A = this chain, B = another copy of it.
Amino acid sequence: MRISELSRRTAVPAATIKYYVREGLLHPPTEVGYNRTEYDESHESRLRLVRALIEVGGVSVAAARGVVAALDNPELPAFELAGAAQSAMLGEHKASRSAQDRVATLLRDRGWCVSETNPGLGMVAAVLDRYDELHLTHLEQILPAYAQAAELAARAETDAAFGFPESERLAETVIVGTVLGDQVLAGLRRLAQEAITRDRLGSLPAAGYDTAGSENSRARS
Protein backbone atom coordinates (compact mmCIF):
# COMPACT_ATOMS: atom_id res chain seq x y z
CA MET A 1 0.00 0.00 0.00
CA ARG A 2 1.03 3.63 -0.44
CA ILE A 3 2.09 5.73 2.53
CA SER A 4 -1.21 7.63 2.29
CA GLU A 5 -3.15 4.39 2.75
CA LEU A 6 -0.96 3.32 5.70
CA SER A 7 -1.48 6.76 7.21
CA ARG A 8 -5.25 6.51 6.75
CA ARG A 9 -5.44 3.04 8.31
CA THR A 10 -3.38 3.89 11.40
CA ALA A 11 -4.20 7.61 11.80
CA VAL A 12 -0.46 8.33 11.92
CA PRO A 13 0.57 11.30 9.70
CA ALA A 14 2.75 10.43 6.68
CA ALA A 15 5.51 12.73 7.96
CA THR A 16 5.58 10.80 11.26
CA ILE A 17 5.76 7.49 9.38
CA LYS A 18 8.79 8.75 7.42
CA TYR A 19 10.34 9.96 10.66
CA TYR A 20 9.88 6.53 12.27
CA VAL A 21 11.58 4.90 9.25
CA ARG A 22 14.52 7.32 9.50
CA GLU A 23 14.78 6.66 13.26
CA GLY A 24 14.83 2.89 12.75
CA LEU A 25 11.51 2.28 14.50
CA LEU A 26 9.89 0.98 11.31
CA HIS A 27 11.59 -1.14 8.61
CA PRO A 28 11.99 0.68 5.26
CA PRO A 29 9.28 0.27 2.63
CA THR A 30 9.96 -1.63 -0.61
CA GLU A 31 11.08 0.49 -3.59
CA VAL A 32 8.73 -0.30 -6.46
CA GLY A 33 9.91 1.95 -9.22
CA TYR A 34 10.92 5.55 -9.64
CA ASN A 35 10.14 7.53 -6.49
CA ARG A 36 7.47 5.06 -5.34
CA THR A 37 7.53 2.95 -2.21
CA GLU A 38 5.22 0.24 -1.00
CA TYR A 39 4.25 -0.61 2.57
CA ASP A 40 2.54 -3.83 3.66
CA GLU A 41 0.74 -5.37 6.64
CA SER A 42 4.03 -5.88 8.51
CA HIS A 43 4.51 -2.07 8.47
CA GLU A 44 0.98 -1.54 9.66
CA SER A 45 1.27 -3.84 12.68
CA ARG A 46 4.71 -2.53 13.62
CA LEU A 47 3.46 1.04 13.32
CA ARG A 48 0.58 0.28 15.68
CA LEU A 49 3.02 -1.22 18.17
CA VAL A 50 5.39 1.77 18.01
CA ARG A 51 2.52 4.18 18.47
CA ALA A 52 1.18 2.22 21.47
CA LEU A 53 4.62 2.35 23.11
CA ILE A 54 5.18 6.05 22.43
CA GLU A 55 1.70 7.53 22.83
CA VAL A 56 0.17 5.35 25.52
CA GLY A 57 3.23 3.84 27.17
CA GLY A 58 5.04 7.19 27.34
CA VAL A 59 8.22 5.61 25.94
CA SER A 60 10.74 7.94 24.23
CA VAL A 61 11.67 7.49 20.56
CA ALA A 62 15.18 6.37 21.56
CA ALA A 63 13.78 3.85 24.04
CA ALA A 64 11.23 2.56 21.53
CA ARG A 65 14.15 1.89 19.15
CA GLY A 66 15.69 -0.34 21.83
CA VAL A 67 12.41 -2.20 22.27
CA VAL A 68 12.03 -2.74 18.52
CA ALA A 69 15.64 -3.95 18.26
CA ALA A 70 14.97 -6.46 21.03
CA LEU A 71 11.81 -7.58 19.24
CA ASP A 72 13.74 -8.12 15.98
CA ASN A 73 16.41 -10.20 17.68
CA PRO A 74 15.33 -13.83 17.19
CA GLU A 75 18.07 -15.05 19.57
CA LEU A 76 16.52 -13.36 22.59
CA PRO A 77 14.35 -15.60 24.80
CA ALA A 78 10.93 -14.12 25.52
CA PHE A 79 11.59 -13.57 29.20
CA GLU A 80 14.66 -11.50 28.40
CA LEU A 81 12.65 -9.43 25.96
CA ALA A 82 10.70 -7.89 28.80
CA GLY A 83 13.98 -7.03 30.49
CA ALA A 84 15.39 -5.51 27.30
CA ALA A 85 12.21 -3.51 26.80
CA GLN A 86 12.24 -2.34 30.36
CA SER A 87 15.96 -1.51 30.47
CA ALA A 88 15.58 0.54 27.32
CA MET A 89 12.74 2.43 28.94
CA LEU A 90 14.21 3.10 32.34
CA GLY A 91 17.82 4.03 31.90
CA GLU A 92 20.24 3.65 34.77
CA HIS A 93 19.16 4.01 38.36
CA LYS A 94 21.89 4.62 40.91
CA ALA A 95 21.11 3.40 44.40
CA SER A 96 22.92 3.15 47.72
CA ARG A 97 24.28 -0.15 48.98
CA SER A 98 21.82 -0.04 51.89
CA ALA A 99 18.82 0.28 49.55
CA GLN A 100 20.14 -2.56 47.36
CA ASP A 101 20.48 -4.75 50.45
CA ARG A 102 16.91 -4.01 51.50
CA VAL A 103 15.67 -5.03 48.05
CA ALA A 104 17.73 -8.25 48.28
CA THR A 105 16.12 -9.00 51.65
CA LEU A 106 12.65 -8.46 50.20
CA LEU A 107 13.46 -10.86 47.34
CA ARG A 108 14.69 -13.52 49.75
CA ASP A 109 11.60 -13.11 51.92
CA ARG A 110 9.37 -13.70 48.91
CA GLY A 111 11.55 -16.47 47.45
CA TRP A 112 12.04 -14.62 44.17
CA CYS A 113 15.03 -15.76 42.18
CA VAL A 114 16.17 -13.15 39.61
CA SER A 115 19.30 -12.20 37.67
CA GLU A 116 21.51 -9.29 38.68
CA THR A 117 20.65 -7.55 35.41
CA ASN A 118 16.92 -7.32 36.13
CA PRO A 119 16.16 -3.59 35.79
CA GLY A 120 13.64 -3.82 38.63
CA LEU A 121 16.48 -4.07 41.16
CA GLY A 122 17.85 -0.57 40.56
CA MET A 123 14.39 0.86 40.04
CA VAL A 124 13.08 -0.23 43.43
CA ALA A 125 16.33 0.57 45.28
CA ALA A 126 16.40 4.10 43.80
CA VAL A 127 12.91 4.76 45.15
CA LEU A 128 13.91 3.52 48.62
CA ASP A 129 16.76 6.04 48.61
CA ARG A 130 14.28 8.81 47.78
CA TYR A 131 11.98 7.76 50.62
CA ASP A 132 14.98 8.08 52.98
CA GLU A 133 16.05 11.41 51.59
CA LEU A 134 12.55 12.89 51.85
CA HIS A 135 12.16 11.50 55.39
CA LEU A 136 9.13 9.53 54.21
CA THR A 137 10.50 6.21 55.39
CA HIS A 138 7.05 5.13 56.62
CA LEU A 139 6.24 4.58 52.92
CA GLU A 140 8.65 1.65 53.01
CA GLN A 141 6.07 -0.22 55.09
CA ILE A 142 4.00 -0.50 51.91
CA LEU A 143 6.73 -2.54 50.23
CA PRO A 144 5.43 -6.03 51.16
CA ALA A 145 1.95 -5.08 49.89
CA TYR A 146 3.47 -3.78 46.63
CA ALA A 147 5.41 -7.03 46.26
CA GLN A 148 2.26 -9.07 46.80
CA ALA A 149 0.38 -6.93 44.26
CA ALA A 150 3.25 -7.22 41.76
CA GLU A 151 3.30 -11.00 42.11
CA LEU A 152 -0.43 -11.20 41.54
CA ALA A 153 -0.17 -9.10 38.36
CA ALA A 154 2.93 -10.91 37.09
CA ARG A 155 1.36 -14.33 37.60
CA ALA A 156 -1.68 -13.38 35.51
CA GLU A 157 0.61 -11.88 32.85
CA THR A 158 2.78 -14.96 32.68
CA ASP A 159 -0.33 -17.14 32.35
CA ALA A 160 -1.52 -14.96 29.46
CA ALA A 161 1.90 -15.05 27.74
CA PHE A 162 2.29 -18.82 28.08
CA GLY A 163 -1.31 -19.37 27.00
CA PHE A 164 -0.63 -17.62 23.71
CA PRO A 165 0.10 -20.09 20.90
CA GLU A 166 1.98 -18.19 18.18
CA SER A 167 5.61 -17.68 19.10
CA GLU A 168 6.12 -14.53 17.05
CA ARG A 169 3.29 -12.79 18.81
CA LEU A 170 4.57 -14.06 22.17
CA ALA A 171 7.39 -11.48 21.98
CA GLU A 172 4.90 -8.74 21.18
CA THR A 173 2.62 -9.92 23.98
CA VAL A 174 5.48 -9.71 26.45
CA ILE A 175 6.52 -6.22 25.32
CA VAL A 176 3.05 -4.74 25.10
CA GLY A 177 2.07 -6.49 28.30
CA THR A 178 5.07 -5.05 30.12
CA VAL A 179 4.86 -1.47 28.88
CA LEU A 180 1.09 -1.03 28.76
CA GLY A 181 0.65 -3.13 31.91
CA ASP A 182 2.41 -0.34 33.83
CA GLN A 183 -0.21 2.10 32.57
CA VAL A 184 -3.15 -0.16 33.40
CA LEU A 185 -1.83 -0.84 36.87
CA ALA A 186 -1.08 2.84 37.48
CA GLY A 187 -4.55 3.83 36.24
CA LEU A 188 -6.35 1.21 38.29
CA ARG A 189 -4.31 2.19 41.36
CA ARG A 190 -5.63 5.78 41.07
CA LEU A 191 -9.16 4.49 40.77
CA ALA A 192 -8.73 2.16 43.76
CA GLN A 193 -7.13 4.96 45.81
CA GLU A 194 -10.13 7.20 45.25
CA ALA A 195 -12.67 4.43 45.86
CA ILE A 196 -10.98 3.41 49.13
CA THR A 197 -10.60 7.02 50.33
CA ARG A 198 -14.29 7.69 49.62
CA ASP A 199 -15.18 4.57 51.57
CA ARG A 200 -13.10 5.67 54.53
CA LEU A 201 -14.17 9.31 54.66
CA GLY A 202 -17.79 8.60 53.76
CA SER A 203 -18.68 12.21 52.94
CA LEU A 204 -17.10 13.21 49.67
CA PRO A 205 -18.79 14.89 46.70
CA ALA A 206 -20.94 12.58 44.60
CA ALA A 207 -19.02 10.35 42.25
CA GLY A 208 -19.80 9.98 38.56
CA TYR A 209 -19.08 6.27 38.44
CA ASP A 210 -21.16 5.02 41.32
CA THR A 211 -21.96 1.35 41.70
CA ALA A 212 -25.47 2.20 42.93
CA GLY A 213 -26.33 5.00 40.50
CA SER A 214 -24.30 3.70 37.63
CA GLU A 215 -27.02 3.81 35.01
CA ASN A 216 -27.67 7.50 35.63
CA SER A 217 -24.04 8.48 35.64
CA ARG A 218 -23.31 6.53 32.48
CA ALA A 219 -26.22 8.16 30.71
CA ARG A 220 -24.75 11.53 31.60
CA SER A 221 -21.22 10.80 30.42
Show the binding face of A for B, using Cβ within 8 Å: 45, 48-49, 52, 56, 58, 79, 82-83, 86, 93, 100-101, 104, 107-108, 110-124, 126-127, 130-131, 133-136, 138-139, 141-143, 145-158, 160, 162-164, 169, 172-173, 176-178, 180-201, 204-205, 207-211, 214, 217-218, 221
Determine whether the beta carbon of A147 is less than 8 Å from that of B113: no
Taking the full assembly, how many copies of this chain does it contain? 2
A156 contacts B150, CB within 8 Å? no
B113, B155, B198: the one contacting A113 at CB < 8 Å is B198
Option from B116, B187, B189 in Cβ contact (under 8 Å) with A209: B116
Q: Does the CB pair A183–B114 fall under 8 Å?
A: no
Contacts of A114 in B (CB 8 A): 191, 194-195, 198, 207-209
- Residues of the B chain whose Cβ atoms lie less than 8 Å from the Cβ of A195: 107, 110-114, 154
Query: What would 15 A/B residue contacts be, using CB atoms closer than 8 Å?
Result: A82-B190, A86-B186, A114-B209, A115-B208, A116-B209, A120-B186, A121-B187, A123-B184, A124-B184, A138-B173, A146-B181, A149-B185, A149-B188, A158-B200, A182-B185
